[in-house]
Amino acid sequence: MAEADKEEKSGGGSVKGLIIGMLAAALLAAGGGGGLAFMLAPHFKMEKNAAEKVAAEKEKKPKTGAEKSVFHDPGTVVLRLKPVMTNLRLPFKSWVRLEGALALRKEGDEKEDALARIAASAQQDIMTYLRTLSLKDLEGASNLAFLRDDLNERLKIRLKDRMREFMILSLVVE
């Protein structure tokens, strides 16, 4: 009987120690998480304000189908294209959405309608090319680089000497 009492006391003590240890670990984790959140809170507030500013700037821009902005080089105009969405060659039920921008050499004071025609022509050319691709042609980093190079080459042919570079802003395949 004395042995049974010793086992209960030693067993009960280990359970109490386990519970106390778990509570101490939980309190330490909660305190560390709260302290980290308190330290990082100002950074998240800045990002939220920056996102609000970007959204306000987008609302101010004209909706002409292409957005015009000046690149670092004053002789270059960046023309942001509307997203191009089309189906792929294989598998036929796959869709691709590509957003891009053209870096063009500036030619005097260009009118919005001239830039809109360039944008429409480039979008049509991009859509035509994307329809010839299969899903395998878009897999991997090297194929993405090939896609960018092919579109650069096609658009340089279309736009002759004005074209500097085509930039892929986003690419989504479904």
- What's the pTM value of the predicted model, to 2 decimals? 0.57
> What confidence score (pLDDT) does residue 75 get?
78
Write down the mean pLDDT value for the chain.
80
Confidence check: pLDDT of 70 > 50? no
- In the chain, where the domains are located: 1-60, 66-173
DSSP letter string over 67-124?
A: EEEE-SSTTEEEEEEPPEEEE-SBSTT-EEEEEEEEEEE--SS--HHHHHHHHHHHHH
Torsional sign, CA 144, 145, 148, 149: negative
Could you give the 3-state DSSP secondary structure of residue 139? coil
Cβ-contact 78, 103 below 8 angstroms: yes
User: Which pLDDT score is estimated for 105?
Assistant: 85
For residue range 125-169, what is the model confidence (pLDDT) as tens digits? 999 999 999 999 999 899 999 999 999 999 999 888 788 899 999
The Cβ-side half-sphere exposure at 101, using a 13 Å CA radius, reads 14
Highest mean pLDDT: which range of 42-51, 90-99, 110-119: 90-99
Q: What is the mean pLDDT of residues 74-91?
A: 88
Q: Round to whole Å and give the CA distance between 79 and 113.
A: 12
pLDDT band, very low/low/confident/very high, at 12 (cuts 50, 70, 90): low
Cis? peptide before 74, omega within 30° of 0: no
**Locus of tokens 């957005």:** 67
* pLDDT (tens digit per residue) in 117-137: 889 999 999 999 999 999 999
DSSP letter, residue 45: H
CATH entry 3.30.70.2190 includes domain 66-173: no
